[in-house]
Structure formats: C-alpha cells, structure tokens
Structure 1
C-alpha cells in the first residue's frame, strides 16, 4: 500500500485555496531570487509546481522537490521543469550543484528546520542563494492560517522573523530581508 502524505489529501483544492487567500507570492519570490538564465533552481516543497512554472523560463532548469506524489501529479513538466518526489532533508542533489533553493510557504511544515538548512547548504554552490518566504508566527493572519492548517496537517513549526534569521545566519550571509506584514522573505548567500 502506498503511503499517503497529508498534502495528497488536498492536492485537488490546494491551488484554489492558495489563490483565494492570496498566499501565492510568485512575483516577490522571483524578484528576491534574482534568477539568471544559467541558474539551476530547486523549489523545495514546490507542491503543484505553480511557482516553478512561473520561473521556469527565467532559468536553466527548475526542480520541484516534494514528498506528495499527488501534488507533483499536478505539475506541468517540461524541458526545463522537472519533478522529484523526495525528502527535503535528504535530497538527491550533489554537493555544491545548485544555484538557488527556494522555500516558499514551506518552512513552518518542517520540524527538523536546522537539518533542512544544513542540507540546503550542502547542495548550494559557493555563493548560491536561499530564498525563504514564511509567515510571522505572531501575526493575526498567520494565527488564522495556522488554525486551518493544523486541522489539515497537524504539527506546525512557525517561527518569528528573528528566529528564522538567527537560524539562517549560522550558514548564510543574509543579503536581504523583506518585511511584508504577515510574511517575510529572506535572501541568504552561502558562505
């Protein structure tokens, strides 16, 4: 019997939910990443591939890495957009092989956040970038989102912007921090 992931249960409705509550921030993530046509990008927890689809014509290749087989079944793969079903803590990428790693609306779903940062650091090239978008733990909009997501997915691991920054700066030079009210975006460069 196949293992069913929590996101496998919601894959048909996921994009509609994200759009309805204006949770997709594709333009902002793309601008923060400053993607180049030669870049290899990994969208960790990229789900249905909406962000990857948005950026795929701006880079050499984008990989959507996700644990949910059903979410990945929604991705429109192409020559430079590929899916990989796998664990973000043990990615199949070689050391120092990726230019940009994106975590958009993913970090709070990962319990082993430090281990995730270490894995991202391993696969990024020297000078490669991490772009992390997540939600302020204490903001009212996040509290509402948290209640809804907790019903669907159980354990969540939201942090404040400062807590995320402290974790990232152990492995990355923090290039920019975008403060956006209920969410934030970090851009870090591998040291």
Structure 2
C-alpha cells in the first residue's frame, strides 16, 4: 500500500503554527455547506481546514499519507482521520457528497490518478473543491522553487490544466481566482 512515512511527518507538530488557516466561511460557501452527507478532506493533514467545517455535514473524514499529520487531526473533535494515498482512495464509489482538497494537489505523485479518484468517490450531485496556489503568480513560482530545493517532489499545475483534465472526464469545472489562490469547483 505504500510507505507510511511522509515528508510532512517531521513538521506535523508545528504545521498549524507555520501555515495560515483559510477562512472557513469561504470554504463553506464553495462547498455549499451546510449539507446532508459526508465530507472527505483529501490531503487534509492536521485537519486544520476540516475542523472549521464540523457541524455542517454528517461527518468528516480526513485522509492523509502522513501518520504525524493524522495524529494531530485525531485531537480535533468531529474528525475521522484515515491513512491513505490520494491516488488510490480506500472508499467506495460515490461515498461522499462533498470532497475537498486544500493546498495538497501539487504534493501528489500521480495527479492524473488523483483527479479520477476524487471524481470516483464523489456522489452524483456532489461538490468537489480543489484549492491550490495559482502557478501564474511569481510568488507561487518562488515557493515551487523553494520546495524543490528542499527536496519536496511538488509539481504545480496551471489551473487551466487541472480544469482541462476534469473536463476530459466529462465534468464541467469552474475556475475561481483570488490573489495567489485558485479554486476549482466541480458539481458532479
């Protein structure tokens, strides 16, 4: 199934002190919450984003490949941490009415497979939101260079490329940009 050690295990105890929390109101808006059903936060790490969504859905699963990050998520009430790889999600088809991925897509090994898996586990009528840094911005390109220099395998995509892959699967993605952040929204 894969190595349960991750590039993020070492930073897990400090992660939420280093990285800002996206406003939960914006995430709720894009996911069209509250809503009946389950939410999957793929690459959700410590649960920093998902914790702000507790009570807006029936349950929240935080999936991550880092055991260290999931230990932090386990401390947050209302979250169900699950170890797994985004390229091969350990859930049945159509299980989740909402699927979220914040600032994780560029860290994944097989991004094409991940897009297929996100759509597979999303229920008909469900909403997928992928939030990523917008690679059109120079500041994001500097972050990408830094991540490569410290040995991370990050691969940033332009939003149009992510949207084109989703469109090729038969879905209609929307791209929303705000500063250096982009959101791709898909209703299945």
1-structure distance, mates of 2:141, 2:161: 17
Gaps of 5+ in 1: none
Task: Output the TM-score relative to the length of structure 2.
Answer: 0.89
- In 2 relative to 1, CA 153–9 (structure 1 residues): closer, same or farther, beyond 3 Å? farther
TM normalised by structure 1 equals: 0.88
Aligned-pair RMSD on alpha carbons?
1.8
1:117-128 correspondence runs (5 A):
117-128=115-126
Given that residues 46 and 52 in structure 1 are in contact (C-alpha distance below 8 angstroms), is that contact kept between their aligned partners in structure 2? yes
Tell me what 1:13 maps to: 14
2:98–2:128 Cα contact (<8 Å) kept: yes
- Equivalent residue runs for 1:1-191 within 5 Å: 3-19=4-20, 24-75=22-73, 76-78=75-77, 80-171=78-169, 172-174=171-173, 176-190=174-188
Unaligned 5+ runs, structure 2: none
Q: 1:173 touches 1:189 (CA, 8 Å); kept in 2?
A: yes
How many residue pairs were aligned? 184
The Cα shift of 1:170 comes to: 2.2
Determine if contact 2:4/2:67 at 8 Å carries over to the other structure.
no
Separation of aligned partners in 2, 1:3 and 1:43 = 18
Preserved contact between residue 86 and residue 108 of structure 2 (Cα < 8 Å): no
- CA gap of 1:31–1:115, structure 2 versus 1, over 3 A, is same
SS at match of 1:8: coil
